[in-house]
A and B are shown apart, each in its own frame.
Chain A
Amino acid sequence: MGFIEAVLLTIVTAATPLLIAALGELVTERSGVLNLGVEGMMIMGAIAGFAFALMSGNPYVGVIAGVGFGALFSLLFAFLTVTLVTNQVATGLALTILGLGISGLWGEAFVGVPGVKLLPIEIPLLSEIPLIGKLLFAQDIIFYCSIVLLFGVSCFLFKSRMGLTLRAVGDNHTSAHALGISVSRVRYLAVMFGGACSGLAGAYMSLVYTTQWIENMTAGRGWIALALVVFASWRPNRVLIGAYLFGAVGIAQLHIQALGFKIPSQFLSALPYLATIIVLVIISRNRRLTIINTPASLGKGFVPDR
């Protein structure tokens, strides 16, 4: 494997968890729910994935556990914010803190224990293509999932009737209710989809990115995913651009630091954030489209009239 291939591979590895978590949050937010607990749900997915893979010896059990625990954890958020109509911002922050706490407690026994690695699946023929073959077609199942999710979420939101219903709920929950749409059902499902995605992204961290458990190992990626959704103005294809750009600049700045250029390291560390924000702001400079894509009832709890 050449140097370039290796660098590209690290970019994919850095971008995949961001892409998955951001796509999940995008669906949640399109339904009008702002879940700031992405970081908490991710770390729950990471610890559950690590623990179940280790106990069963099968990394796929870990993947399923990560998804399941992420969804389960988000169910708590949905119950609080949709059924009890608590403040979404406060509840989301609490979810993150809770997730970090529980995972730290659960993971204490796993510190320093070598984990189980999720191995790549080589797709015959396609993986033989020079340069991109290994990159795109000799990857683990979670990477393939991220690509399927990207197209799936796009089609779901903009081509399917259910996606239209979801967008309607996010745009104006009062009108949606008046049309006989169950706002709470749509939001429960959207929140749980977001939780499942965050859990999957977390499992990627502990089964692929590093195969060990480190406390707080998601290291703010949940927050970056959240920011990506906003800067991508709630559009899946822009989330893809943002996630990969962030991954790429992040890896590039590591190499630049290693090569010993005389650029302050603080600036280089900030570079991925700067570059992503600038590019996404330029993409979404059309204000009309941004307004149309922003879910108008985002963050607002819904209490029916009666």
Chain B
Amino acid sequence: MFGDFTANKNIDFDIKPGEIHALLGENGAGKSTLVKMLYGSLQPTSGSIRIDGDEVEITSPGKARALGIGMVFQHFSLFEALSVAENIALSLAEDISVSEVARRASEYSERYGLPLNPEAIIGDLSVGERQRVEIVRCLLQEPKLLILDEPTSVLTPQEAENLFKTLNQLKSEGRSILFISHRLEEVRTHCDRATILRFGEVIASCDPREETAASLANMMVGSTVRNVDRSSRNVSSDVVLELNRLSLSAQTQFSVPLSEINLKVHAGEIVGVAGIAGNGQSELFEAICGERISIKSDSVSIGGERVGKLGINKRRKLGAAFIPEERNGHGAIAAFKLSDNMLLARHASDDQKFQKGGRLRLIWQDMIQSATSRVSEAMDVRKSGVNPYAASLSGGNLQKFIVGRELDRSPSLLVVNQPSWGVDAGAAQRIRQALIDLAAAGSAVLVLSQDLDEILEISDRIAVLFDGHLSEPLNAETASREDIGLLMAGVGMATGEAKHVA
């Protein structure tokens, strides 16, 4: 149906009616470029796109929609302040009243098993609900091809299963689905064909059901991805981080309050906190690292010291290190050089090492520079020049630098939020290995991640965060994906209502 497509670097691929076609590739492999051209937000410089045999020029997203191409973005393009029905009305070409749109949306949401309240304001909805709005919005235009960009990365395993039910229903109606994902297991179980991109070129086209996750990964990366080596660790009985009935009120309209969180992290172990984004991960991270001060000083203890009321630098000086979720603007300042970013994060903990002149506190560039080089080497940070601007590094390399910057201090406690979010497989593997090595060396590590595979890969114990509540940690060796998935959906959590999942 969509044939003879030449793009990026001579990309040829086709999608047949009634198939779920997976598009695989690492970050930067050219998936988004390809998809943007299909959706009309980029124009190919050469080559052609054909739909049902006719050559077409997709000059704008509007044109793409008119041609029967619908797209569900990874970062949703919804209007937060408007209602579900108003959002859908805006994307329909015809002038239909909002109430008529609401009626149609309800009809479609029922037909495809995507529950929706047309009157709800987008700003009040969970990520999963927003995704359903995007999908229903596309379906109302009766697309022949539906493109989904990493749709399951924001869903619980159960929500993802429901999504695949919907996709299979669409497939049986003869529609085509282009499915972009990093999750190889779901590609293997649900997709009919897979096209693998690397460096902007098609590497292979295969039937994913005949492949293994490992063989797909190898095709994506081009070399064998080493599995993380987790030799046995000695977990001691020393509690390094203790959260004791930690509660935090919601600071803004869209943040989640934390309620009565208890957790102990011992020296030499990795505790993983799973959960869907927006269930209190950022808030928990901020409370532990001291970006938000607790009311009671014993809410957070590091190495036995009550630090609930201490600021971030005092906590760092007790041997703790923190890596926030957002690389740009939070973990590092993009417009600053790596050495400046090094100093900004460690000026208090490495006061003596990085600053000279006694009370004058002059910046000791040589020392900082050598630490920067040391970190870059240890973490295999690929950069242009000795001390480039943080902005010039790719996401994966900047993340490796930030992780390395904290590890370089040999912290006794490391708290990291989304360690490998949006980094390529190689960098993610490097970062996970570094976390495991740190724990093996006797430090306590707390990892907050949306990526359940990552959590399962590295953790000794796994707790689940749902709507600001933290479950009892499960032993990683015995816990099943299903158990964790249910907890992620709020089933069996002592929270009362499960409002973040529907």
User: Does B140 sit at the interface, judged by CB under 8 A?
Assistant: no
Contact check, B98 vs A164: say whether CB atoms are below 8 A apart: yes
Please indicate the chain B residues that have their CB under 8 angstroms from the CB of A161 in the complex.
89, 95
Q: Which residues A167-199 have CB closer than 8 A to chain B?
A: 167-168, 171-172, 174-176, 178-181
User: Does A292 sit at the interface, judged by CB under 8 A?
Assistant: yes
Please indicate the chain A residues that have their CB under 8 angstroms from the CB of B86 in the complex.
164, 168
The stretch of B21-29, B45-53, B72-80, B346-354 in contact with A is: B72-80
Shortest B9–chain A CB gap in Å is 21
Q: Which of B61, B89, B123, B253 contacts A178 (CB 8 A)?
A: B61
Please indicate the chain A residues that have their CB under 8 angstroms from the CB of B124 in the complex.
288
Please indicate the chain A residues that have their CB under 8 angstroms from the CB of B82 in the complex.
164, 167-168, 171
In whole angstroms, what is the CA distance A13 to B62 when docked? 48
In whole angstroms, what is the CA distance A179 to B253 when docked? 27
Residue of B nearest to A293 (CB): B81
Please indicate the chain A residues that have their CB under 8 angstroms from the CB of B123 in the complex.
291-292
Please indicate the chain A residues that have their CB under 8 angstroms from the CB of B95 in the complex.
161
User: Does A287 sit at the interface, judged by CB under 8 A?
Assistant: yes
User: Does B394 sit at the interface, judged by CB under 8 A?
Assistant: no
Please indicate the chain A residues that have their CB under 8 angstroms from the CB of B255 in the complex.
none
In whole angstroms, what is the CA distance A294 to B252 when docked? 15
User: Does B41 sit at the interface, judged by CB under 8 A?
Assistant: yes
Q: Known contacts A175-B77, A292-B121, A296-B80: does B89 contact A305 (CB below 8 Å)?
A: no
User: Does A86 sit at the interface, judged by CB under 8 A?
Assistant: no
Residue of A nearest to B98 (CB): A164
In whole angstroms, what is the CA distance A168 to B62 when docked? 16
Contact check, A171 vs B253: say whether CB atoms are below 8 A apart: no
Q: Interface on chain A toward B: helix, strand, loop, or mixed SS?
A: helix
Please indicate the chain B residues that have their CB under 8 angstroms from the CB of A171 in the complex.
79-82
User: Does B60 sit at the interface, judged by CB under 8 A?
Assistant: yes
In whole angstroms, what is the CA distance A161 to B77 when docked? 19
Q: Which of B60, B79, B89 contacts A180 (CB 8 A)?
A: B60
Contact check, A175 vs B89: say whether CB atoms are below 8 A apart: no
In whole angstroms, what is the CA distance A168 to B61 when docked? 17
In whole angstroms, what is the CA distance A296 to B62 when docked? 24
User: Does B90 sit at the interface, judged by CB under 8 A?
Assistant: yes
Q: Which residues A148-168 have CB closer than 8 A to chain B?
A: 161, 164-165, 167-168
Contact check, A167 vs B81: say whether CB atoms are below 8 A apart: yes
Shortest A132–chain B CB gap in Å is 36
Q: Known contacts A164-B86, A179-B90, A180-B62: does B41 contact A174 (CB below 8 Å)?
A: no
Please indicate the chain B residues that have their CB under 8 angstroms from the CB of A295 in the complex.
81
Q: Known contacts A178-B41, A288-B253, A292-B123: does B89 contact A164 (CB below 8 Å)?
A: yes
Please indicate the chain A residues that have their CB under 8 angstroms from the CB of B80 in the complex.
171-172, 292, 296
Residue of B nearest to A290 (CB): B253
Q: Which residues B86-117 have CB closer than 8 A to chain A?
A: 86, 89-91, 95, 98
Please indicate the chain A residues that have their CB under 8 angstroms from the CB of B79 in the complex.
167-168, 171-172, 175-176
Q: Which of A179, A287, A296 contacts B91 (CB 8 A)?
A: A179
Q: How many residues of chain A have a CB within 8 Å of chain B?
A: 24
Q: Which residues A284-304 have CB closer than 8 A to chain B?
A: 287-288, 291-296
Beta-carbon contacts of B232-248 to A below 8 Å, as 1s and 0s? Answer: 00000000000000000
Shortest A68–chain B CB gap in Å is 31
Beta-carbon contacts of B49-68 to A below 8 Å, as 1s and 0s? Answer: 00000000000111000000
In whole angstroms, what is the CA distance A171 to B123 when docked? 11
Beta-carbon contacts of A260-282 to B below 8 Å, as 1s and 0s? Answer: 00000000000000000000000
Please indicate the chain A residues that have their CB under 8 angstroms from the CB of B62 in the complex.
179-180
In whole angstroms, what is the CA distance A294 to B121 when docked? 14
Shortest A122–chain B CB gap in Å is 39
Beta-carbon contacts of B426-453 to A below 8 Å, as 1s and 0s? Answer: 0000000000000000000000000000
Please indicate the chain A residues that have their CB under 8 angstroms from the CB of B253 in the complex.
287-288, 291
Please indicate the chain A residues that have their CB under 8 angstroms from the CB of B91 in the complex.
179
Shortest B267–chain A CB gap in Å is 43
In whole angstroms, what is the CA distance A171 to B80 when docked? 7
Please indicate the chain B residues that have their CB under 8 angstroms from the CB of A179 in the complex.
61-62, 77, 90-91
Q: Known contacts A180-B61, A180-B62: does B90 contact A165 (CB below 8 Å)?
A: yes
Q: Which of B41, B60, B81, B90 contacts A305 (CB 8 A)?
A: B41
In whole angstroms, what is the CA distance A305 to B60 when docked? 13
In whole angstroms, what is the CA distance A295 to B80 when docked? 10
Please indicate the chain B residues that have their CB under 8 angstroms from the CB of A178 in the complex.
41, 61, 77
Shortest B65–chain A CB gap in Å is 8
Please indicate the chain B residues that have their CB under 8 angstroms from the CB of A305 in the complex.
41
Please indicate the chain B residues that have their CB under 8 angstroms from the CB of A164 in the complex.
82, 86, 89-90, 98
Please indicate the chain B residues that have their CB under 8 angstroms from the CB of A180 in the complex.
60-62
In whole angstroms, what is the CA distance A295 to B81 when docked? 8
Contact check, A296 vs B81: say whether CB atoms are below 8 A apart: yes
Q: Which of B41, B60, B81 contacts A292 (CB 8 A)?
A: B81
Please indicate the chain B residues that have their CB under 8 angstroms from the CB of A175 in the complex.
77-79
In whole angstroms, what is the CA distance A291 to B252 when docked? 10
Beta-carbon contacts of B113-151 to A below 8 Å, as 1s and 0s? Answer: 000000001011000000000000000000000000000
The 5 closest A-B pairs by CB, nearest first: A180-B62, A175-B77, A171-B79, A171-B81, A292-B81
Question: Can you spell out 25 A-B residue pairs with CB atoms less than 8 angstroms apart?
Answer: A161-B89, A164-B82, A164-B86, A164-B90, A164-B98, A165-B90, A168-B79, A168-B86, A168-B90, A171-B79, A172-B79, A172-B80, A174-B77, A175-B77, A175-B78, A176-B90, A178-B41, A179-B61, A180-B60, A288-B124, A291-B123, A292-B80, A292-B81, A293-B81, A294-B81
Q: Give the A-binding residues of B (Cβ under 8 A).
A: 41-42, 60-62, 77-82, 86, 89-91, 95, 98, 121, 123-124, 253
Q: Give the B-binding residues of A (Cβ under 8 A).
A: 161, 164-165, 167-168, 171-172, 174-176, 178-181, 287-288, 291-296, 305-306
**Knowing that A167-B82, A168-B82 are A-B contacts, what are 4 other residue pairs whose CB atoms are under 8 Å apart, sorted by A's residue number?**
A161-B89, A178-B61, A179-B91, A288-B253
